């Protein structure tokens, strides 16, 4: 090989190496620089916690009494509720003569399997309906504790609630008390608060029972909550109209009934029950939740007992911290929706979270208004109004949630002062949330509709 050809060969090799280096740099730039842009946290500002999960228009909850085994009527009812992805709270009589705990576990697990498919985990909540369904007005202080505290211990001792909204680390929770005979007294109220039930469901009905109850500081629990109507006794039309009324008035459709009541089946055939149950299902403007999870959400939303802190960190990240004692007492794993302003003119954006400051960032699934989902960790962007709704609960590994919102916004560097939030400013502190008075509708009625 002549020296000239050798030089040309060397030159060609050098040129090839230079081209490979340039291509490599371009590839690296393409795949590493772009994500860096996407991962840059946007300059956002916290607005508030929405009244209902995912800023839904209204809510739906239902409770069914006298559960002790999967009798035919209960199986029928669960089949309907599960097939329509409805959430419900079962009032368990824990020392019923014919109680079958394995049936209750099966029903709980069945509801979980169905709910997971519909992005609405744990359709069934287990609440307590006392040990023996005796008359609460006849209970003395010790009996009230035994019935109210003891029945919750029996549910937790016999049912595995691991991984659900009603378990954190090794602690399990029963958050809903369903009064037998729709009766309560100062003794039962005190036992409910001392045991840390969040709700106390009575049986009086009417439209006034379709909104949040206030915190009862005397007993350390929410006020006694009636139900809109006893589903065993009113017509399908009444129930459908009630659901529509709650939608229009942004209320909570709160229904109770008795699947094992023979009257329920004879007077109100299953096809009729299925009719109204189908009618109230699958509404993407509606938040479907249980008594306990509704009030777990409300507890955070109203910053009850100064339970919550939200602050802007450096790098446009946010830290949400829950009062450690409240976290242990109630679990509070049910997702709560935090509303943020985002920059205008965003085309794509994502939300990342972690529960420890040095943990890995995890991307939240993004949902749209057309998606059906309840009680899952998710985010929903409203680019037209420059908002994001971030739904996330507290975990068992810390009292904190860290958030950052990344995205591609043409206005990211030209934002007006309204979007600027200085570092380390506490956006919301204990007690800073406005308390909301119940929204009262016109033509309010309150029918006494005592049931059992
Ligand atoms: Zn009952």
User: pLDDT tens digits for 328-383?
Assistant: 999 999 999 999 999 988 878 999 999 999 999 999 999 999 999 999 999 999 99
Distance from residue 260's CA to the centre of ligand 1 (Å):
10
Distance from residue 181's CA to the centre of ligand 1 (Å):
6
Higher pLDDT, 364 or 441: 364
Distance CA 154, CA 148 (A): 10
Higher pLDDT, 304 or 138: 138
Distance from residue 280's CA to the centre of ligand 1 (Å):
24
Look-up of token digits 């690296």: 28
- Of 129-143, 162-176, 204-218, 264-278, where does mean pLDDT reach its minimum? 264-278
The torsion angles phi and psi of 191, rounded to 5 degrees, stand at: -65, -40
Distance from residue 247's CA to the centre of ligand 1 (Å):
29
- Between the alpha carbon of residue 27 and those of residues 30, 34, 37, 440, the distances in Å are 5, 11, 16, 61
Distance from residue 193's CA to the centre of ligand 1 (Å):
21
Number of Cβ within a 10 Å radius of residue 160: 12
Give the pLDDT confidence of 57-74 residue by residue, as tens digits.
Answer: 999 999 999 999 999 889
Give the pLDDT confidence of 238-250 residue by residue, as tens digits.
Answer: 999 999 999 999 9
Distance from residue 91's CA to the centre of ligand 1 (Å):
8
Distance CA 189, CA 229 (A): 22
Give the pLDDT confidence of 376-428 residue by residue, as tens digits.
Answer: 999 999 999 999 999 999 999 999 999 999 988 776 443 333 333 333 233 34
Distance from residue 452's CA to the centre of ligand 1 (Å):
4
Distance from residue 347's CA to the centre of ligand 1 (Å):
53
Distance from residue 66's CA to the centre of ligand 1 (Å):
5
Higher pLDDT, 46 or 30: 46
- Of 51-60, 278-287, 310-319, where does mean pLDDT reach its minimum? 310-319
Distance CA 176, CA 29 (A): 55
User: What confidence tier does 444 reach under pLDDT thresholds 50, 70, 90?
Assistant: very low
The torsion angles phi and psi of 2, rounded to 5 degrees, stand at: -70, 155
Distance from residue 133's CA to the centre of ligand 1 (Å):
6
C-alpha angle 398-401-406 in degrees, rounded to nearest 5 = 145
Number of Cβ within a 10 Å radius of residue 424: 9
Distance CA 74, CA 285 (A): 28
Mean pLDDT, the chain, as a whole number? 86
Distance from residue 252's CA to the centre of ligand 1 (Å):
22
Q: What domains appear along the chain, each with residue ranges and CATH number?
A: 45-52+306-428 (2.60.40), 58-284 (3.20.20.370)
- Write down the pTM of the prediction: 0.84
DSSP conformation class of 196: T
Distance from residue 120's CA to the centre of ligand 1 (Å):
27
Distance from residue 180's CA to the centre of ligand 1 (Å):
5
Question: Given this model, what pLDDT does residue 429 score?
Answer: 37
Distance from residue 68's CA to the centre of ligand 1 (Å):
11
pLDDT greater than 50 at residue 78: yes
Distance from residue 129's CA to the centre of ligand 1 (Å):
7
Distance from residue 400's CA to the centre of ligand 1 (Å):
39
Distance from residue 222's CA to the centre of ligand 1 (Å):
21
Both tokens assigned to 234: 């009113």
User: What confidence tier does 314 reach under pLDDT thresholds 50, 70, 90?
Assistant: confident
């Amino acid at each position: 090989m002549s020296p000239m050809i050798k030089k040309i060969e060397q030159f060609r090799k050098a040129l090839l190496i230079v081209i490979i280096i340039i291509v490599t740099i371009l590839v690296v730039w393409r795949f590493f620089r772009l994500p860096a842009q996407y991962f840059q946290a946007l300059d956002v500002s916290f607005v508030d916690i929405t009244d209902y999960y995912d800023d839904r228009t209204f809510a739906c909850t239902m409770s069914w009494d006298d559960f002790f085994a999967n009798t035919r009527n209960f199986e029928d009812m669960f089949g309907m509720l599960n097939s329509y992805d409805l959430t419900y709270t079962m009032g368990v009589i824990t020392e019923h003569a014919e109680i079958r705990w394995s049936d209750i576990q099966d029903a709980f697990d069945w509801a979980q399997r169905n709910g997971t498919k519909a992005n609405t985990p744990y359709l069934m909540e287990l609440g307590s309906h006392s040990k023996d369904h005796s008359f609460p007005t006849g209970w003395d202080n010790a009996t009230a504790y035994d019935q109210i505290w003891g029945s919750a211990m029996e549910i937790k001792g016999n049912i595995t609630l691991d991984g659900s909204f009603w378990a954190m680390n090794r602690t399990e929770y029963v958050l809903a008390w369903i009064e037998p005979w729709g009766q309560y007294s100062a003794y039962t109220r005190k036992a409910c608060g001392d045991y840390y039930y969040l709700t106390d469901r009575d049986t009086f009905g009417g439209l006034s029972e379709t909104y949040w109850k206030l915190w009862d500081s005397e007993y350390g629990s929410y006020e006694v909550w009636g139900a809109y109507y006893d589903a065993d006794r009113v017509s399908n039309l009444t129930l459908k109209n009630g659901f529509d009324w709650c939608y229009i008035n942004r209320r909570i459709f709160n229904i109770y009934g008795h699947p094992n009541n023979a009257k329920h089946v004879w007077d109100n055939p299953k096809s009729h029950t299925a009719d109204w149950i189908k009618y109230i299902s699958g509404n993407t403007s509606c938040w479907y939740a249980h008594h306990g999870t509704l009030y777990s959400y409300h507890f955070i939303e109203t910053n009850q007992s100064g339970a919550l802190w939200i602050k802007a960190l450096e790098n446009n990240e946010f830290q949400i911290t829950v009062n450690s004692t409240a976290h242990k007492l109630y679990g509070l794993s049910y997702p709560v929706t935090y509303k943020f302003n985002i920059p205008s003119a965003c085309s794509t954006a994502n939300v990342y979270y972690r529960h420890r400051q040095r943990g890995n960032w995890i991307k939240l699934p993004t949902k749209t208004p057309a998606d059906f989902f309840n009680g899952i960790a998710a985010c929903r962007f409203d680019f037209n109004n420059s908002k994001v709704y971030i739904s996330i609960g507290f975990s068992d590994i810390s009292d904190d949630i860290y958030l950052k919102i990344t995205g591609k916004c043409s206005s990211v560097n030209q934002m007006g002062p309204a979007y600027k939030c200085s570092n380390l400013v506490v956006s919301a502190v204990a007690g800073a949330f406005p308390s909301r008075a119940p929204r009262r509708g016109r033509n309010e009625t309150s029918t006494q509709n005592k049931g059992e």
